[in-house]
Structures are given as structure tokens and as C-alpha cells.
Amino acid sequence: MDQKNENTIIISSGDESGIGPEIMAEALRVLDYFIGEQSLALEIEVAPLGAQAYFDQGDPFPPRTKAVCDSADVILKGPVGLNHNETQLIPLEFRPERGAILPLRKRYDTFANYRPVRLSEEMKQFSPLKNALLRQGVDFVIVRELVGGLYFGEKSQGINPDGLRYVREALEYDEAQIRRIIIAAFKLASSRKSHLHNIHKSNVLLSSELWNDVLSEVEADYPDVRVTHLLVDAAATAMCLDPTQFDVMVMENMFGDILSDQAGGILGSLGLMPSACVGEKKSYFEPSHGSAPDLRGLNIANPYSMIGSVALMLDMSLGRRDLADRVWSALFHVLGSGRVTQDLSAHVPDVEVVTTSEFGSLVLDELGGA
């Protein structure tokens, strides 16, 4: 098989206080496999990001990490974060989410967050929903705007004239920010089943009014795509009652953060939620979930989300959909055969519970037979 020209990939395994290094190790085994069979040419460099970087270097997004990420073709990142008590040891502005994740997104303007929600017919037993609701399985994508909204708006706090503490956070979007994420969602929908659900809260939020106005303008350029408008609270209910109705869902930042976690619950575990954070010049790939410090070192975390993020990276940044398809096929076959990590075993009888590293080995076995 012909090799692609070598790409530079930056690996940040996530905080050592959580499961990041364990699940990243299994993702790297997949990349090493493809490098070994000469399907892929990569230069891999490791760079710290998150709480551990703060403790070691006084900065959760150190200058060297910024420099190597600036020059890299793509970034693969594990989950960061600490438990509540450890988090209190770090000044607010240096905590992993505020000091590393949001600056990473802003630096590379990764405005489009794609979160695939996939559960094959063979895997639907893992969902807490009744099988009758899942029909032939679930397959939709949440497209979340990632660099605007409440998370990036102006913030202030203080004491008001009545002597009470207050906070103020602005939900800010301009039409250009909205237009580009909506165009991205329409493009994706037109390549799939041509059905786009627009998730908003226009009955109370002016930001959603502007969002809907821009969507109506863009919609004219995609006559093949059917648009369904849904309030975010109604969308939360609809996802539980009939998740099979969705193809592509587009929404602002905070709505996407919340509903994608709900989607993980529908699948049976957040461990089944990889994601792609895509900008015009650079992208990074990461699990949708946090660092799960309570699972650290137990070798029981589900590496699917991390390996799935590799599949997204292969497809969306490295131009190797052929390899991505092999990874997805391997993941689905392992889970469909009833070999699962602990998170998926609670409500399903007659499954074989495997460790993090055993799951990774099973995926490699499947790749070897592909």
C-alpha cells in the first residue's frame, strides 16, 4: 500500500490523575499498527497539556506545547481534569478547562465540533433505552459550535449595590460565527441523509433569533436538505423517545456540550463518544468525556472514545478514510461480539468484561484480519 507523505502529530495524553494516559496508550497502539504495516507515515511528538503541565511547569498550556502544536499537522489529545478537591489547589485561571482547553480551541479557531453518536444494531443492547426505540440502531452527528457563546463571552463578578455577590456572563455570537458552523452542518447533512435538526431556544434567547435568521439564509443554498427546528429542551426529550429520527443536529456551544453528554447516556456510556474539533487551518481530536479520576490506574476505562478519535483524525485530517473505516469496523465488531469494558456491562447479561488493554488488543486483532 502506498504511504502518505509524513505528517506530524502532537500527542497530549491527558492528566496523569485520570484515565487519559491509559486510553491514549491503546490509541497509539492503533497508530503504531498502521505505521508498522506501512499504511501510514507519521512523526509523533509528545507535549504536556492540562493540570500536570501546570504542576510541572506552572502553565497548563506551556509555551513549548504551543510551539510544537503550532507547527504540527494535527493534535490528538486525551482527557484532562482533576477531582474536585485537587482542582481547588489550582488558581481558577490555570485550571485545565479554563487554562488549557478553551485557549487551545481559541488559538486554532476550532469552531466545528463533530460528535458522532453511533450504535449498531448488534450494539444496541448496551443502551438503557428499550430496543424497540432503537430499531436498527442509532447513527447521527452532533455539530457543536465550539469557540463562541457563554464559554467565550465577557465575564465579570463582584458585589452589587445591595451588598450581594454577583456574576455576569455574556452569551456572544456574531453572524459570521453562526454562518460558518451552519454551513458546516448543512454540508455534512447533504452528504448523509439530508436531514438537519436545528436546535435553538428562540422563545427566550436573542442569540437563537439571530442563529435562526442566519440558518434561514444559508438554507436557500441547500434545497436538498430538510430542516427541522427544535427547541433545545424538546430536543432533549426527543433524543430519549426516538434517537433514530436524527441525522445531523446543529447547535450553539453550551447546548452541544450538554446534549452530547445525553447522547452518551443513550448509547450506554460516555466512553462511546469520540469527537473532532475542526478549524480551517488546524484540528484536534479528543474523547468527549472527562478524565474520570476515580478510574485511574484500574485498567477498566473504555478506550473506544480515544480510538474512535483516531479514526476521526485519520479520516478528517490525514485523508485516510480507508484506514478510518478499518478502525470503525474493528471497534464495532469487538463490541458486537459481546466483549466490553466494565462501563457497558452493568445492564447487559452474558457479556465478557475485558480490561482497557485487552480491549485494545482485541481491536488490533480485528485490524490484523481486515
Give me the phi and psi of 217, to 5 degrees please.
-70, -45
Q: How many other CB atoms are found less than 10 A from the CB of residue 228?
A: 15
Give the three-state DSSP class for 312: helix
CA–CA distance, 235 with 95 (Å, rounded to integer): 31
C-alpha cell at 60: 497548563
Judged on CB neighbours under 10 Å (0-12, 13-18, 19+), 21 is: middle
* Cα 170 versus chain centre, distance: 24
Task: Identify how many contiguous H helices and E strands the chain contains and give both numbers.
Answer: 14, 14
- Cβ(146)–Cβ(105) below 8 Å: yes
Active-site residue, 233 included: yes
Say whether 56 is catalytic: no
Phi-psi label, residue 149: left if phi above 0, alpha if psi -120 to 50, beta otherwise: left
Does the annotation mark 201 as catalytic?
Answer: yes
Given a contact cutoff of 8 angstroms between Cβ atoms, the answer to whether 302 and 351 are in contact is no
Q: Is 293 helix (H, G, I), strand (E, B) or coil?
A: helix
**DSSP-derived 3-state class of residue 114:** strand
Among the options 54, 151, 173, 304, which is catalytic?
A: 151
Distance CA 170, CA 49 (A): 27
Residue in 233, 242, 322, 365 annotated catalytic: 233
Set 77, 124, 201, 282: catalytic member:
201
Residue 261 annotated among the catalytic residues of the structure = yes
Angle between helices 304-316 and 321-336 (to 10 degrees): 160
Which is the catalytic residue, given 73, 139, 261, 325? 261
Mapping DSSP to helix (H, G, I), strand (E, B) and coil, where does residue 258 land?
helix
Q: Which of 257, 284, 304, 315 is catalytic?
A: 257
SS3 call for 1: coil
The C-alpha cell that represents 261 in the structure block: 453528554
Active site residues: 151, 201, 233, 257, 261
